[in-house]
Structure 1
Amino acid sequence: MKRHPKPTYCPPPAAVLAAHQEPTPTLAHDEQHDMHLVLNEIADERERQNAKWGQQNHPDRRFGDRPLLAIANCLRSGDPATVSSAALAGAAKRATNEEARRGSITWQDILLEEVFEAFAELDDEALRTELVQVAAVATQWVEAIDRRNHNTEEPSR
């Protein structure tokens, strides 16, 4: 009985593999263009923040619900269930200003203030402006985390 040599594996050509792969979802050209415009607006807002405040490196957050409790304490109403978004935005701003005055402001304080300001907007243009500010503050927080982690890495040997 004649033995046949064991066949060796030969990968299929790239075209065959490509035909069997799921297509990778991509954004339409207009969606990519829109996304880049928005990201540019966020970058412009980051530049305005840097010009106004300089580089910021706050703690991420305090333990517990302190920022939310500070906002609740700044409310001038009894029942939190009946508080308007505008009242919450005002309370968040007062709480953030108080934490800044004390020298204990955190990224969580700043971002919560921006988010509550966005929630209070009823006009699309004003809401859009606030959301760009929310994205810019979130971006700035990520930058601060990256700076902190970069500065604490041990040098390569």
Structure 2
Amino acid sequence: MSYPTLFTTPGIRAFAEEIDAERQRQIATFGDQHHPDGTGTIHHIDQADRVRAKVDQAAADGTQTWGNILAEEVAEAFAETAPNRLRTELIQVAAVCAAWIADLDSRPTA
């Protein structure tokens, strides 16, 4: 029997498996957790605007970093209040983390 390919982007399967293992450790340690989002304050919205401007400038002047990109995605998530938009932003955070990890993993080891 043939099963469909779940992950087509190189490295995503390993990333997902590592996340799953970490989630299992979290559940074992803390149990099933439910907390308020804590997002959407004026501070978070202002922060997202500042970080977005910094990332745009870094992209324009060629000094972009993974740290900048991730900070922007996290700031945008923190600025959201609507659950569907917050979820979309958190998926973007995870995707940037996956891209950054793929970049780290592609580097020669010293």
Q: TM-score, normalised by structure 1?
A: 0.43
| 115, 119, 137: which one aligns with 2:96 | 137
Structure 2 residue aligned with 1:122: 81
Alignment of 1:1-157 (within 5 A): 84-148=43-107, 152-153=108-109
Cα distance between partner residues in 2 of 1:112 and 1:153: 26
Number of residue pairs the alignment of both structures matches: 75
- Post-superposition offset of 1:89: 0.7
Query: Residue 64 of structure 2: SS of its match in structure 1?
Result: coil
Query: Residue 116 of structure 1: SS of its match in structure 2?
Result: helix
- Post-superposition offset of 1:84: 1.8
Identity %, equivalent residues: 39
**Structure 2: gaps spanning 5 or more residues:** 1-5, 10-40
Q: CA RMSD in A?
A: 2.5
- Offset from partner CA, 1:52-98 (integer Å, 9 cap, x none): xxxxxxxxxxxxxxxxxxxxxxxxxxxxxx95211111111100000
Cα distance between partner residues in 2 of 1:99 and 1:83: 24
Cα distance between partner residues in 2 of 1:143 and 1:132: 16
Structure 2 residue aligned with 1:73: none
Cα distance between partner residues in 1 of 2:93 and 2:42: 22
- Offset from partner CA, 1:99-129 (integer Å, 9 cap, x none): 1111011000000000000000001100000
Query: Residue 113 of structure 1: SS of its match in structure 2?
Result: helix
Matched to 1:99, the amino acid is A
- Post-superposition offset of 1:153: 4.6
